[in-house]
Amino acid sequence: MVRGRVWCFGNDIDTDQIYPGKYLPLTDKKEIARHAMEGTKEGSEFIKKVKPGDIIVAGTNFGCGSSREHAPVAIRGIGISIIIAKSFARIFHRNAVNIGLPILMLENTEDIEQGEVLEVNWESGEIRSITHKKNYKGKSVSMLEQKIMKAGGLLEYLKHAE
C-alpha cells in the first residue's frame, strides 16, 4: 500500500520527455533522478516540488519511445511510489518491473486531479482518493511481475528465487 500526492501527465509521454537523451552519459543514479520528467511541459515544476512517495498519473502509452532504462530509473530515483496510467508502452512496462518500480493500469485516469492524495494497493489494483473520497479499480500486473517488484527488481528477485 502506498499513499501520495498526484502529479498528472497526459498521453504519449515518451522516454525522451521522462529522461532527456542529453543526460544519457550520466551514471550516478542521484544525478539521473534530478532530471526525471524534465522534458515535459510540467517538468520544471515537478522537479522543484516532487516529494518521495508522490504518484504519477498519466494517460495512454506512458513511456513510449526508446528502450532506455534511464526513464524508469529516474522516476524511481526521485522517489515516485507508483505510476498509474491508462496504458504503458511495452518496453517501459518491462523496464519498470525489472527495476522494481510499481505500475498500475486504470481506465479513467482523467478523473484523477493534480495534487489529489491517493492511497493505492498496487497488488489488488484498489485506489482510494483521500481527497475526493472516491474509489477506483485498476488492473494490476501479473503475479510474477508483482513478485519481481516486491523483491526490488529482477536482479533481487533472481538472487532469492527458489
CATH code for the domain in which residue 148 is found: 3.20.19.10
Q: For position 160, what pLDDT does the model report?
A: 85
> Which pTM does this prediction carry?
0.96
Q: For position 146, what pLDDT does the model report?
A: 96
Q: For position 162, what pLDDT does the model report?
A: 62
Q: Does residue 18 contact residue 69 with C-beta atoms inside 8 Å?
A: no
Q: How many domains, in total, are found in the chain?
A: 1
Reply yes or no on whether the pLDDT at 124 is more than 70: yes
Once rounded to an integer, what is the mean pLDDT over residues 121-125? Answer: 96
Question: What does the alpha-carbon distance between residue 35 and residue 75 come to, in Å, rounded to a whole number?
Answer: 9
Question: What does the alpha-carbon distance between residue 104 and residue 84 come to, in Å, rounded to a whole number?
Answer: 5
Domain enclosing residue 118, as ranges: 2-159
**pLDDT, tens only, 130-158:** 999 999 999 999 999 999 999 999 999 99
Tell me what the pLDDT averaged over the chain comes to.
96
Q: Is 69 left (phi over 0), alpha (psi -120 to 50) or beta?
A: alpha
**pLDDT, tens only, 62-107:** 999 988 899 999 999 999 999 999 999 999 999 999 999 999 999 9
